[in-house]
Amino acid sequence: MHNQTTPSSTGLPALEVTAMTSGYGALMVLRNIHLSIASGSVVAILGKNGMGKTTLLKSILGFLPKQSGQVLLNGQDITTMAAYRVARQSVSYTPQEQALFADLTIKDNLRLGLSRDSLLADRLAGVYEIFPFLKERLEQLAGTLSGGEQKMLLIARALLGRPKLMLIDEITEGLQPSVIQRVANALSTERQRHGTSMLIVEQNVEFALQVADHYIVLKRGEVVLTGRTREAGALGAIEAELTM
């Protein structure tokens, strides 16, 4: 079930990628990528391993240079902007690798999602509603959490910053179904409360169809299928493409 979101006051897409080609040095991984995320909507990028999904996120964020094309964030050209400057435009990134500081407490890891500590107490209240286990374990070292708990901590840290756009890479990998559902609920809650736009890279098709409005299937660095997640036959079309 999709929730109503707050539309952009400008009417511009939250993110727009046009004819983007990028990769690693001379190795081109992505070719002629087009995508658009309306303000307050969620787009899922689907595909097998090695098809360019993570490269897409890193290229949008500025970790990798674009060979061609354009990236607009709320109408602002960020094509050549450095990654740290993109992050300052109210963009959060939850990477596939668990980018936590294992020797720091949960509380200190959460602090990293904020521009100043004075925001922490107020923002934590909303996070506790989504992930209540964090409330009693703030002083626990992040490295002692289970894999699922670490994934939830990553999402919580991103939510604390109240981003306008979230980029999330394979958050459900290795998680049991009950934790996957908690993550889905967390993302839906954030979207409902703050109209947050999201670009989600996933291999879990059912999760993607649950949280997203639109999907894009990547194969060998190119878009081969797009559609609305609520269209009849979407699941079958995606699965057929992924098995080809």
For residue 189, the domain's CATH number is: 3.40.50.300
Higher pLDDT, residue 59 or 174: 59
The answer to whether residue 175 sits within a structural domain is yes
How far apart (Å, rounded) are the C-alpha atoms in residues 71 and 43?
Answer: 16
Q: Does residue 6 form part of some domain?
A: no
φ and ψ of 38, to 5 deg:
-65, 150
Whether residue 241 has pLDDT greater than 60: yes
* 54 C-beta neighbours (distance < 10 Å), count: 20
**Is residue 7 a part of any domain in this protein?**
no
- Tell me, what's the pLDDT at 4? 38
- Angle (CA) 223-14-195 rounded to 5° is 120
Kindly state whether residue 137 falls inside one of the protein's structural domains. yes
The per-residue pLDDT for 37 is: 98
Lowest mean pLDDT among 1-15, 28-42, 46-60: 1-15
The answer to whether residue 213 sits within a structural domain is yes
CB 38 within 8 A of CB 13: yes
Question: Residue 2 falls within a domain, yes or no?
Answer: no
Task: Report the percentage of the chain scoring pLDDT > 90.
Answer: 71
Rounded to whole angstroms, the Cα distance separating 85 from 157 reads 19
Domain count within the chain: 1
* Residue 9 covered by a domain: no
For residue 85, what are the contacts with CB-CB under 8 A and spacing of at least 6? 62, 78
pLDDT at 131 over 80: yes
Question: Residue 5 domain-assigned?
Answer: no
Give the residue ranges of DSSP H helices in 132-201.
Answer: 147-160, 177-194
By residue range, what is the domain housing residue 128? 15-243
pLDDT confidence of residue 212: 97
Average pLDDT over residues 63-86: 95
Q: What integer is the mean pLDDT of 45-67?
A: 95
- Give helix 177-194 / helix 147-160 axis angle, nearest 10°: 0
- Banded model confidence at residue 1, pLDDT cuts 50, 70, 90: very low
